[in-house]
Structure 1
Amino acid sequence: MLIVVDALNRHQFRAMLAEAARRRQLCQPSDPGDDALDRCNPAHILCLDDAGQVVGGLRLMQTTGPHMLSDTRSALMADQVPLRSARLWEVSQFWADAPGAAPMLLTGALDYARRAGVLDLVALLDAPTDRALSRSGPPLYDYLGQPRDGLVAALVECSAQQIIRLRARFRLDAPEFADTDTALAHFGKSRRPAAKLDASAALAAWCDEQIATADDPHERAAAEALRLELSHLIDGAPRRRCKA
């Protein structure tokens, strides 16, 4: 499941964004984490697995304003002029922690950007994500500048043909974005507290098992006596004791 979080719905997804940031730093401990660009109202695409866990994400920013290749990671451009165009978006904070999450996220980003009129994405990828997306088959993108600090800049065409190529290579269905209510309910599955153990019922079941599996009358009598001793814990009755 993919979810788009932007300036309009960010207030509803604070917990999910916080969880995504925590998981991303576990996957990419060298990543500096939150930076000033996060306050420029970027869009995030997050990926949830069947259990409602956040297993990947990326950040989308317009290149007409501040972005990583023009500011915090300009060294990746190897002294080239920073890319700026209303029809070019930057992908950063790209991480994936589940099989298939990386191509699903890239497909979703391409589809989302293409529908917004964007022609190309420039994606900042770490080495593991680059390998996951480059595995088998012809290249999906061109590289810009020079690799630096474990990152590469990849230029990806936002076209229907590119999306079809990506889906065919990784055997993906067409990307579907969940609405807010569906996404929050699905994420909530992984955050619900575990059901409390019924200690009384568990204790009663254990006592009954000891009685049922007794090997001889003496052992059965001892199990029944224990059941009686524990009756106040099992059914709330006053403590009862076996007669000596």
Structure 2
Amino acid sequence: MGSMIQIGQRNHFDRNDLHALHVLRAKVFRDRMGWDVPVLAGMEIDGYDALEPHYMVIRDEASKVCGCWRMMPTDGPYMLKDTFPELLHGAAAPQDKRIWELSRFAIETEGDSQYGFAERALIAMRAIVQFADEHDIAKYVTVTTTAVERLLRHAGVETTRMGPPLRIGVERAIALEIHLGETTRKALFGTLH
């Protein structure tokens, strides 16, 4: 399975790519997972999309958008600090231009095996490590589900829980730090990186 990844801000992508990204998010988060998220004209969009985040767009062999991730520094507003602070259980939220938040990770699974999901997720995780190297990012934080936490752990990515999971809506949510050190790099790249 070939996948192509692009990372950039909104102006890096054409309108069709952005539309496909937001439609995919609506399909995954509202339709498949049952989350209560804002959907406008079939697109899942929230206030954080207005704050100049970077987006990862994953394409399949036919160049169709089949995955995405949103990335933004924590030195301004971001989802963990401003929407889900209860996941920190009273601890201070990171606020550092070298710590970025990953959010809205979505991969299309329609017509794909779980193997296809896992392969695309692995390719995406490698890309966020490379992006971190290029942008002096020390680590990532994320609000995710315990299912994605298991996926990261299974892939060998080093994570630290920022507190115990809580039920938010229909999911058990967790705040994680994603470490970019040797353990993560060896798991994702082998000994060559």
- TM-score normalized with structure 1 length: 0.62
Structure 1 segments unaligned to the other structure (5+ residues): 175-244
| Contact in 2 for aligned 1:16/1:54 (Cα 8 Å) | yes
Deviations 1:163-183 (A, max 9, x none): 332234xxxx98xxxxxxxxx
How big is the shift at 1:51? Answer: 1.6
| Contact in 1 for aligned 2:70/2:104 (Cα 8 Å) | yes
Consecutive aligned runs of 4 or more in structure 1 exceeding 6 Å deviation: none
Task: Report the equivalent of 2:23.
Answer: 22
Partner SS state of residue 164, structure 2: strand
Partner SS state of residue 143, structure 2: strand
For 1:72, which of 62, 73, 83 is the aligned residue?
83
- Equivalenced residue count is 168
- Higher gyration radius (CA): 1
Report the Cα distance in structure 2 between the residues aligned to 1:117 and 1:72, rounded to whole angstroms.
26
Task: Mark the CA change 1:35 to 1:132 in structure 2 (over 3 Å): closer, same or farther.
Answer: same
For 1:47, which of 58, 65, 69 is the aligned residue?
58
Partner SS state of residue 137, structure 2: coil
For 1:86, which of 97, 100, 107 is the aligned residue?
97
Deviations 1:217-241 (A, max 9, x none): xxxxxxxxxxxxxxxxxxxxxxxxx
Show the 5 A alignment for 1:171-190: none
Task: Report the equivalent of 2:184.
Answer: 162
Partner SS state of residue 161, structure 2: strand
Report the Cα distance in structure 1 between the residues aligned to 2:148 and 2:58, rounded to whole angstroms.
15
How big is the shift at 1:35? Answer: 1.2
Task: Report the equivalent of 2:161.
Answer: 143
Report the Cα distance in structure 2 between the residues aligned to 1:22 and 1:120, rounded to whole angstroms.
28
Report the Cα distance in structure 1 between the residues aligned to 2:21 and 2:146, rounded to whole angstroms.
20
| Contact in 1 for aligned 2:59/2:65 (Cα 8 Å) | yes
Task: Report the equivalent of 1:5.
Answer: 8
Structure 2 segments unaligned to the other structure (5+ residues): 38-43, 109-115
Deviations 1:69-96 (A, max 9, x none): 1101212111211111121001011122
Please say if 1:102 is aligned against 2:121: yes
Report the Cα distance in structure 2 between the residues aligned to 1:96 and 1:130, rounded to whole angstroms.
15
How big is the shift at 1:8? Answer: 4.2
Aligned CA-pair RMSD: 2.4
| Contact in 2 for aligned 1:76/1:146 (Cα 8 Å) | yes
Task: Report the equivalent of 1:224.
Answer: none
Please say if 1:125 is aligned against 2:144: yes
Partner SS state of residue 69, structure 1: helix
Identity of aligned residues (%): 22
